[in-house]
Amino acid sequence: MSQLEALKTFTTVVADTGDFKQIAAYQPQDATTNPSLILKAVQKPEYAPILSAEVAAHKGKPLDEVMDHLLVHFGCEILSLIPGRVSTEVDARLSFDTAATVARGKRLIAMYQAQGIAKERILIKVASTWEGIQAASQLEQAGIRTNLTLLFSFCQAVACGQAKVQLISPFVGRIYDWYKKSAGSTWVEADMTGSNDPGVQSVKQIYNYYKRHGIATEVMGASFRNVGQITALAGCDLLTISPELLAGLAASDVPLQASLHAPAALAMDIPAVHFDEAGFRFALNEDAMATEKLSEGIRAFCADALKLEKLMLAA
């Protein structure tokens, strides 16, 4: 049994890509996309015709609407290859606008439904800002499931649980990146792997808290830098993994055991926490890593959205 096959016995495996031609080989349950992954895909010759077709089909429409049609096109292609759900992201430029995020999420769902896709197969992906979390709460109340992304801190996870969102995507690799850069020459890679990896520790803390307090929100570890980060989180509800790392797991037959266990979390002494808006903003501000990575992530997604718009204008 490969590590990928073993992982599937503990955890729902999700493909993190816009390159849907790679998905079938790994037979994931779900898939996730983001603006950067879609931008990467449409720059490949085999996907360029999709961009051109969507631009032609919606000529004269606002760029943001054309972009959403493009995202939905990729989402539909992915859904034809998997049995589960696809995550499609709201424009990151709306990360601090609750009403606009709700409106965009509803529009994406309407576009999918126009293609015959049930809303239960879609997760609307939203940045884990305070405004984004409130938007997700409103979408959930409207029967639209959400995936809260760019999540780096415990306070973000607690607020998402309070909002009863469907799923969160705590980032592993970007947390790891921050601590490694911060430590500089004092970083000892061998000492910071597996359960000592700060990104792995963050996901474990969130997973155990959710299970201990009966929070139904699914935990999906994301943003991995290496196979070791993935195997250290075996047993997490879901893990979203790039095709490159899926290939690494498929090529390895090193034995794999679950390291996260819901029954064990139930016995842990973990106090309940609640955040109102002021408390959330203060807690996030106190976490330099999360503050920096959240802002950086939003900026990067915004930059890639602008690049995608330029490609659409040139098509």
Q: Looking at the annotation, which residues are catalytic? A: 125
Q: Are 243 and 22 in contact (CB under 8 A)?
A: yes
Q: Which of 286, 175, 187 has the alpha carbon at shortest distance from 233? A: 175
> What's the Cα-to-Cα distance from 254 to each of 15, 145, 245, rounded to whole Å?
21, 36, 15
Residue 171 to residue 203: CA distance in whole angstroms: 8
Q: Are 48 and 28 in contact (CB under 8 A)?
A: no
Tokens standing for residue 158: 């607690």
Q: What angle do CA 285, 287, 290 make, to 5 degrees?
A: 95
Cα-based torsion angle of the residue sequence 214, 285, 87, 199 in order, rounded to the nearest 10 degrees: -70
Phi/psi at 164 (5° precision): 60, 45
> What's the Cα-to-Cα distance from 102 to each of 77, 231, 262, 265, rounded to whole Å?
24, 35, 32, 34
Residue 32 to residue 45: CA distance in whole angstroms: 21
Q: Which of 118, 100, 137, 272 has the alpha carbon at shortest distance from 217? A: 137
